[in-house]
Amino acid sequence: MAGTVNNRKQVVVVGAGIGGLTAAADLAVRGWRVTLVERHAQVGGKMRQLAVGPAQIAAGPTVLTLRDVFDDLFAQAGESLDEHVQLQPLDVLARHAWPDGSQLDLYADARRSAQAIAELAGPAEALGFEKFLSYARGIWQTVEGPFVRGQRPTPLSILRSHGLRAAPMLARIDSRRSMWQALGGFFADRRLRQLFGRYATYTGCSPFLAPATLNLVAWVEASGVWQVQGGIWNLAGALLGLMQRHGGVLRCGQGVARILTDGGRASGVELEDGEILRADAVVFGGDASALAEGLLGPAVSRAVAGVEPEGRSLSALTWCLHTQTSGFALHHHNVFFGPDYPEEFEAIFRRSELPETPTVYVCAQDRGEGQQPQGPERLLVLVNAPAVGDRRGGVPEAELRACQERTWRHLEALGLTLHADGAAVRTGPAEFEGLFPASGGALYGAANHSWSASLQRPGAQTQVPGLYLVGGTAHPGAGVPMAALSGRLAAQALAGD
Ligand SMILES: Cc1cc2nc3c(=O)[nH]c(=O)nc-3n(C[C@H](O)[C@H](O)[C@H](O)COP(=O)(O)OP(=O)(O)OC[C@H]3O[C@@H](n4cnc5c(N)ncnc54)[C@H](O)[C@@H]3O)c2cc1C
């Protein structure tokens, strides 16, 4: 074959997000000759760092769960992840604050969480938490093997492999009611419903529309959150290093203009400067909609179905700041809830507007176990936003500024003052669309707002033989470990094919 050298097959991986990096590393370890092509100057995709004054600030993912996904990949290569990147488990998973002045920390130790919940809302709610956690664990255990860590199933394949067991399995994953409805069965206290409902946003969804199955995220987070020493981007660096130690080649700052086909089969790529890279297979790690919209050429536009604007997941409005803070004892992960959660999601998903008083996530990157900054600190401030980055005119500048003012006022009302006189870098839906074309700024692909949505996500294999899809818009879904799993599934499918 054209790309085969020394009997080793050649693969081009397009996009060095976590899915692309993982697929590239996995394939290199399996003995493929890998070329990883990334348009931007850095690897990591959404896991990017921004320079704000003298500081490097994580501008994308900050909550790292399911480290075993990465441990397994390095172990398969005969290495240990710990040799390349230091991960520290957090005792305090997140600090939460509400407009009524109350606060709650969730801990890695579920008993401490239950105790904190009892102090906040009484013993009945603490009991509700214990029941909720065991329910969330049940959902996770049901879907983990057959769904999350396996190739994307179809309703038919589920029936085939599980037969009569499919019906009780469907009942166990609680897919017919919304997360919010299910949470009402465990918690009378609205604050707790809000806290656990917020996990819907980890996959870009509304807790009022997402199936209760997504309550499994609470179990995943309770199973451990890790802080990456030196910055989460070091994880992307570790994956890149693994690929390079196995002969993979990175071509950064070079975009792929077209995926080439030969007799209907993916046969390489054409770079934006016209250079052709031939290959036996191509793995695409950008947004799946970029294929469907023809951004990679007409030959692969039917490879997967695109996502209609109304089916998109959340975007975000973020600010990276290097600033002094006062008034609130920040931890590493902090959530400042808005007063009206239903209205927040109505604004975003029904009216495509920025919320009036948003729930605000603040990642204080110089804080964590035993860390206390002296002077200015590195912050990522994030509010959820509609994925309208490709709408004509975008979100008007005045609205973006007004949202920032409301966000700062809301934080102030809950006790946190940002003395943001220093530099800040703002990223909104339009910038996310620019960085990740065809997404509209949606950060998690299609929203999982129906029980069957996760079965409709594209899998690793596409309609074009030899072309594979990875990343947060593919199965099993968005988030760092999920995107990494998609990379592993694509490597597995490719090796099998
Ligand atoms: C602000 C923010 C906060 C988040 N918080 C969390 C969190 O706390 N925890 C968590 O687990 N997840 C979080 N996520 C989600 C998580 O970051 C993503 O799901 C995951 O990183 C997506 O990885 P990916 O493989 O889809 O690749 P992406 O990150 O989407 O990267 C795709 C890459 O492909 C490249 N590319 C695309 N097209 C081409 C082309 N034609 N030629 C060359 N290169 C191309 C792009 O330049 C990009 O680098 C967050 C995301 C954001 C943006």
Q: Is position 117 within any domain? A: no
- Boundary residue ending a domain (173, 191, 219): 219
Based on the domain organization, do 239 and 280 belong to the same domain? Answer: yes
Cα-Cα-Cα-Cα torsion 212, 214, 217, 220, nearest 10 degrees, comes to 90
Q: Quick one: 135 and 77 in the same domain?
A: no
Q: Among 192, 219, 246, identify where a domain stops.
A: 219
C-alpha span between 306 and 329 (Å, rounded): 44
pTM, two decimal places: 0.96
Q: How far apart are CA 431 and CA 394, in angstroms?
A: 10
- pLDDT of 4 reads 46
Name the DSSP letter for residue 147: I
> For ligand 1, is residue 291 a contact (CB within 6 Å)?
no
Same domain, 193 and 250: no
- CA–centroid distance, residue 469 to ligand 1 (Å): 14
Cβ atoms of residues 366 and 325 within 8 Å: no
Q: How many CA atoms lie within 13 A of 174 on its CB side?
A: 23
Residue 406 lies inside a defined structural domain of this protein? no
Task: Report the separation in Å between the CA atom of 329 and the middle of ligand 1, taken as the mean of its atom positions.
Answer: 30
Q: Could you identify the atom of ligand 1 that is nearest to the CA of residue 37?
A: 43
DSSP H or E segment with residue 468:
strand 467-469
Give Rg (Cα) of the chain: 22
- Report d(CA 204, CA 225) in Å as an integer: 19
Determine the pLDDT at residue 3. Answer: 43
Atom of ligand 1 at shortest distance to CA of 40?
A: 47
CA 27 from chain centre, in angstroms, equals: 22
Distance 21 CA to ligand 1 centre (A): 11
Which phi-psi region, left, alpha or beta, contains residue 53 (left: φ > 0; alpha: ψ -120 to 50)? left
Looking at the domain assignment, is residue 262 inside a domain? yes
CA of 46 to the centre of ligand 1 (A): 3
d(CA 437, CA 352): 19
Identify whether 371 is part of a domain. Answer: no
Residue closest by Cα to atom 34 of ligand 1? 15
> How close is the Cα of 472 to the center of ligand 1, in Å?
7
Query: Does 17 sit in the ligand 1 pocket, CB within 6 Å?
Result: yes
Number of structural domains the chain divides into:
2
314 CA to centre of ligand 1 in angstroms: 14
pLDDT value at residue 103: 98
Q: Is the CB of 40 under 6 A from ligand 1?
A: yes
Quick one: 197 and 239 in the same domain?
A: no
Report CA-CA distances (Å) from 33 to 36, 42, 284, 360, 488: 10, 22, 16, 44, 16
Determine the pLDDT at residue 170.
Answer: 80
Within-domain flag for 335: no
Q: pLDDT in tens for each of the 497 residues of the chain?
A: 444 445 789 999 999 999 999 999 999 999 999 999 999 999 999 999 999 989 999 999 999 999 999 999 999 999 999 999 999 999 999 999 999 999 999 999 999 999 999 999 999 999 999 999 999 999 999 999 888 999 988 777 777 777 777 778 888 899 999 999 999 999 999 999 999 999 999 999 999 999 999 999 999 999 999 999 999 999 999 999 999 999 999 999 999 999 999 999 999 999 999 999 999 999 999 999 999 999 999 999 999 998 999 999 999 999 999 999 999 999 999 999 999 999 999 999 999 999 999 999 999 999 987 788 988 999 999 999 999 999 988 899 999 999 999 999 999 999 999 987 667 899 999 999 999 999 999 999 999 998 888 888 999 999 999 999 999 999 999 999 999 999 999 999 999 98
For ligand 1, whether the C-beta of 483 sits within 6 Å is yes
Residue 422 resides in a domain: no
Domain boundary among the residues 219, 251, 272 is at: 219
Cα 434 to averaged position of ligand 1 atoms, centre (Å): 13
Residue 278 CA to residue 254 CA, distance in Å, equals 16
Token pair belonging to 145: 């093997």
**CATH number of the domain where residue 479 is located:** 3.50.50.60
**What is the reported pLDDT for 422?**
64
Nearest atom in ligand 1 to 318's CA: 1
**Residue 60 CB–ligand 1 contact under 6 Å:** yes
Ligand 1 lined by 204 (C-beta under 6 Å): no
Q: Is the CB of 414 under 6 A from ligand 1?
A: no
285 CB less than 6 Å from ligand 1? yes
Same domain, 244 and 215: no
**CA-wise closest residue to 52 among 423, 317, 418, 376:** 423
Q: What is the pLDDT of residue 2?
A: 43
Q: Residue 171 domain-assigned?
A: yes
Are residue 215 and residue 144 in the same domain, yes or no? yes
Residue at 106 is within a domain: no
- For residue 479, how far is its CA from the centre of ligand 1 (angstroms)? 8
Q: Atom 5 of ligand 1 has which residue's CA nearest to it? A: 61
Backbone torsions φ then ψ of 95, nearest 5 degrees: -105, 130
For residue 146, the enclosing domain spans 128-201+211-219
Q: Check pocket membership of 318 for ligand 1, CB cut-off 6 A.
A: yes
Phi-psi region of 424 (alpha: psi -120 to 50; beta: other; left: phi over 0): beta
Q: Identify which of 18, 38, 46 to mutate to test ligand 1's pocket (most ligand atoms within 8 A of the CB).
A: 46
